[in-house]
Amino acid sequence: MALHQPSLFIPHGGGPCFFMPPRPGHPPDLWDRMAAFLRGIAASLPERPRAVLVISGHWEEPAPAVNGAAHPGLLFDYYGFPAHTYQLTYPVPGDAVLAAEVRSMLETAGFVTGEDDQRGLDHGVFVPFKLVFPDADIPLVQLSLIKGLDPAAHIAMGRALAPLRDQGVLIVGSGMSYHNLRHIYGAEAEENAASAAFDEWLEAAVTGPDRDAALAQWAQAPGARQSHPREEHLIPLMVAAGAGGSDPGVRVYKDELLGKTYAGYRFG
């Protein structure tokens, strides 16, 4: 019998950041702590997962769609990086059975679903998972976000998928708890303060007793829109939180990069 897997919200960094030096003028260890967190995830699990279900901030569809390809390719959806970062590989197997289970569970919960087995795994998947499971030997299925990015809908989507955790499936939301590309590398005191305020609110929301209600109203939090002008990198957290069920949320990663604060969370 499979042990109860957690659901996670992880940061996936900036583009292929873990496989290239930081930009000139940035600290040489800029991404090292995030990379160390990702590398430590496997050892933190109760057992080796049967499979992984990943929700990335880089795939949106009108209805939730799955990629259950037997051998999913990679989608190099980043621009202007060194040539070698477009040669990265992650030959992970897919899982058509899990993809079908995901669709069935979502449809039972009232969602219309789709599939796209031709789309490659985007960098919100393969970049962090090259560190999480570097051997690429645990089957992986990617699930899209829903266009419109309604937080309550994504919490409900996660809730519908929660039983997979008792079947040995690790559910992972991959995004960033701060994602404002205009200011991410800046040093403006106001922007740094907004990031810190939102981070403080987010931790209280995720670890508090009314998690779902709080997260559904995230846009009203202090610093919310300065931290997320568009929320596609935050919404994977909603799926992970919904999949967390009644398990408490725990912060498992915190770091400050160039004045902005970042988080990772675990449920169960």
| Structural domains present in the chain | 7-267 (3.40.830.10)
Per-residue pLDDT, 44: 98
Give which of 177, 226, 229, 179 is closest to 202, Cα–Cα: 177
CB 58 within 8 A of CB 14: no
Per-residue pLDDT, 182: 87
Per-residue pLDDT, 188: 87
Per-residue pLDDT, 184: 82
Per-residue pLDDT, 185: 83
pLDDT along the chain (268 residues), means of 10: 91 97 93 98 98 98 97 97 98 98 98 97 98 98 98 98 98 98 85 97 97 98 98 98 97 96 98
Per-residue pLDDT, 1: 72
pTM > 0.95: yes or no: yes
CB 67 within 8 A of CB 37: no
The CB density around residue 245, as the number of other CB atoms within 10 Å, is 14
